[in-house]
Structures are given as C-alpha cells and as structure tokens.
Amino acid sequence: MSTKTAAASKDPYVLTADDVKEPPKGWRASLRFLGPGLVLSASIVGSGELIATTALGAEAGFVLLWLVVFSTLVKVAVQVELARWAIVTGQTALEGYNKVPPRIGRLGWVSLLWIVMAVVKVLQVGGVVGGLAAALSILFPIGSGPLEFTSLAIWTTVVVIGAIVSLYSNRYSLIELGAVALTVLFVLITCAIAFGLPATDIGYGLGDLGDGMRFALPAGAIGAAIAMFGLTGVTSDEITYYTYWCIEKGYARWVGPNDGSDEWKRRAKGWIRVMYRDAALSWAVYTIGTLAFFIMGAAVLNPAGLVPEGNEMITTLSRTYTDTLGEWASVGYLVGAVAVLGSTLWAALPGWARVAANAVSLCGGFEWRDAERRQRWMKVFTVLFPIAWGAAYLYFTSPVFMIQTGGFVGGLFLIAVTVAAWYLRRKEVDPDLRGSSWFSVALLVSSVLIAGLGIYTALGAFGVSVE
C-alpha cells in the first residue's frame, strides 16, 4: 500500500477498498460497533429533557404525556434514512443538503436554511451553558448570593474555557467515551426517582398516566408543546450530525466505495442493520429519560404551581428532587444537572464544529477530504462556538427562553431535513438498500407529521389561528 493510500485509509471520510470490513450479525456481535447513537443520546438527554420537558410537565401536568412518546418516536425514521444515505455514499448531511435544488450560487436552499438555524441555535446552546453555569454557581457560589451575576459570569467563563480545552482535539473516541459516562449516572438516578414517586407522598397513579395518553392539547400549553417537539428526541441539528458520527465510527469506510457489486450491497445492508441497532438503543435511552423528566415536572412541580423561569430555573427544577427525597437531595440534583448539561455541551460542540467546518468547505474555503485542513477548521469552531454561546447567555440570562427559542426554529428546520432525506433516498440510494415496505410507510408517516406540525408552527408565528 502506498503512503498516500495508507494515510487516506485512516480518514473515515475517504472510502478505499483496503478498509472494507464484514458487518457483524445479531445484537451481541454488534455491541462493540455501536456508539454514534450513544453520543446522540448524550446530546439529547440534556437541554430538551432536563429543561424544556420538565418545564412542560410543570406547566401542563400529565395531560401532554403522550407528546413525549410522540416527539421522540416520530423523528427516528428521518434520522435513520439520512444515516442510511451517509453510509452508502460516505458523504455528510450538509453535503447532501447542498444537492437539493434549487441552488443559490454554491449553496442549496437547505444549506442556507441551516446557516440561519445555526445562528438562532446559538441561543439554545447558550441556554445550556447558562444552565450549567447556574448549577455550578449554586454548588460553589462566588459573591453575595448563589446566583449573583458575578458568580454566573465567572462560572460561564469557566464552562466556556473548559469546553474548549477538553474538546480541542476533536477525537471521536474521546467524544464517545466522555458523553456516555456523563449521561448514564444522572439518567439512572432520575428514572429511579421518577418511577419511584408512587411510593412517596408526592405520587401519581394509573389514572394520571391514562389522562396523559388521551392526545389532548390544552390551548395554554401549545407554545411549550411545539418547542418540546423541536427539542426532544432527535432534533434537526442532531439528525444532521448523526451522519458525521456514523461516518467517523467507520460504517461508511467499512462498506467501502460503491463498485456496483453484490458484495458491496451485502456489506452495505449489513452495516445499515448495525446502524438500525445503534439508533434503536439510543431511542430507548433518551425516551425513557425524557419520560422521567416529564413525570417529575408533572407530579412534583405542577401541583405546587412551580414553572422554571429565568436564572431561577435550576433552583426550581431542584424541587423535583428536594420535594421527593428531602433537602439533602439538592446537592445530588445539582451534580446530576452538571453531568447532564455537561454531556449535552460535550456532544453538541464537536457536532456543531464539524457541520460549521463542512459549511466553510461547501462555500469553497477548503476541500472537505483534506484531513489536515478539516481538522484545523474544526478546531477554529471549537473555540468560536463556546465563546458565542457564553456571550449569548450573559446577554439574555434566561436559559428556558433561549432553549425554547432554539427548539422552535429547530422544529421548522425539520421540514427541510425531511425534504432532503426523501430527495437523497430517491436520487442516490439503491432501491435494494432502501429498507422494507414497513420502513417506507414509517418514513412517510413521520414526514407527514413533521410537515404538518411545521406548517402549524409557521402559521402561528405569523399570527394565523388554526383551530
């Protein structure tokens, strides 16, 4: 093997025949090849679940429990479809978005929309930085009070610098290990408390759960419900960078370049099945976690009339623990909040750095498959994004508002992502690799629901009432 080929084979974005690998068969053999979905879970079980979902439970009570399951399930088919295309072609989501006509200069309309969304999403991730800074400020206050602005500013600076230093290398293996470790403990504790509430004085019963599955949508909770749909489960930005994680794990490289052979198709089907298992495992993790957060908000905060707002968000949310286990649990909650918000930041920063660098390459800044320049640009954005997020939080200082705004815009962008998934499926995925007829039905239903809610959201934004 030449030196050039050897170097290329180490780059997951370059497909060579020398890197092909036989796919494992069955769940047990596939376990060591899972990982992209776990990185996604670390990102998902964070701002949407800890903050938006608990806030919605506090605001609406159990009546919107059905929306939790609906929100996490409905977007999986689109996520899987875009990942299938990435595995088959070895290309990233942003490269795919840029192929969807019409185009304006170098960029397609979906890519341009992504750039707009990315600017607004600075608010959302800034809210995560703020929530993390608030939790640290309460645990280790600096100044005259636990939420003294000086304390928040110092801890925001610490969070920003910590994110840059710890993730500057941008190695996938480090990202995967850190994200999983930060998430597991808090999710386990949260689920134990949420599903153990019926044994306490602050409990809930089967009647509450039944009421929550009646598909009702109270008028006063419509805005929060739309934001939750955009935030919980896989969001448009997470669907986007899931393709990068699948490629960097090695799925596309192990399939190899498409030579049109039956062997290539067999390998592609095998690694796509591994991706199915990866997506299914992550769905189970973040759905259970989301249900737990919602139940705590509905069972504990709603009866007390507590809705998390502004910089008091973390203090209010800690009531889900202190009202159940006593004041001693406040520290445990805050440590858990640091872990879950930290895991979101840990997984989100490398994802955004990759997609932003990819956008620069599409604009002609560099060749994406030039590994050295790609890494250099990713490091640039690994520095710039945390600074922008921290500055946004210190300006707005309202994590709930910031996160829900990002969720609103992300919900709208889901329509564009869905259009791109269908376009790429029809144009670049071999019919033999498109999955079963059942999957096609699931993708169609998912797409219609996403489009319907997106249109409803857009009409509401322009003041059009839809009964």
The token pair that represents 149 in the structure block: 């602005």
b/e map 118-146, b = 16+ CB within 10 Å: bebbbbbbbbbbbbbbbbbbbbebeeeeb
pLDDT attached to residue 413: 83
Please give the single-letter amino acid code of residue 68.
V
DSSP β-bridge partners for residue 104: 107
pLDDT attached to residue 27: 92
pLDDT attached to residue 341: 76
Angle between helices 399-428 and 236-249 (to 10 degrees): 60
Angle at 131 between CA 128 and CA 134, to 5 degrees: 150
pLDDT attached to residue 110: 92
The fold for domain 23-462 equals Amino acid/polyamine transporter I (1.20.1740)
C-alpha torsion angle, residues 135, 138, 144, 147 (rounded to 10): 40
pLDDT attached to residue 277: 95
pTM confidence score: 0.84
Q: Of the candidates 248, 250, 228, 238, which has an alpha carbon nearest to the alpha carbon of residue 279?
A: 238
Residues contacting 21, CB < 8 A, separation 6+: 250, 254, 267
| Residue located via tokens 């890197």 | 19
Residues contacting 257, CB < 8 A, separation 6+: 15, 16, 17, 90
Cβ–Cβ under 8 Å, residues 117 and 130: no
Pairwise CA distance, residues 337 & 324, whole Å: 16
pLDDT attached to residue 345: 81
pLDDT attached to residue 6: 40
Cβ–Cβ under 8 Å, residues 82 and 239: yes
The token pair that represents 407 in the structure block: 């969720």
Pairwise CA distance, residues 192 & 201, whole Å: 16
- pLDDT tens digits in sequence order for the chain, 467 residues long: 444 434 445 789 999 988 999 999 989 999 999 989 888 887 776 655 666 677 777 777 787 788 888 878 878 899 999 999 999 999 999 999 999 999 888 889 999 888 888 888 888 788 888 878 888 888 887 765 555 667 788 888 999 998 898 888 878 777 777 777 766 776 777 777 777 777 766 677 777 788 777 777 666 666 666 656 656 667 788 889 899 999 999 999 999 999 889 999 999 999 999 999 999 988 888 888 788 878 878 887 777 777 666 556 666 666 666 666 666 666 766 776 777 777 778 888 899 999 999 999 999 999 999 999 999 999 999 999 999 999 988 887 776 677 667 767 777 788 889 999 999 999 999 999 998 888 889 889 888 877 776 666 555 544 445 44
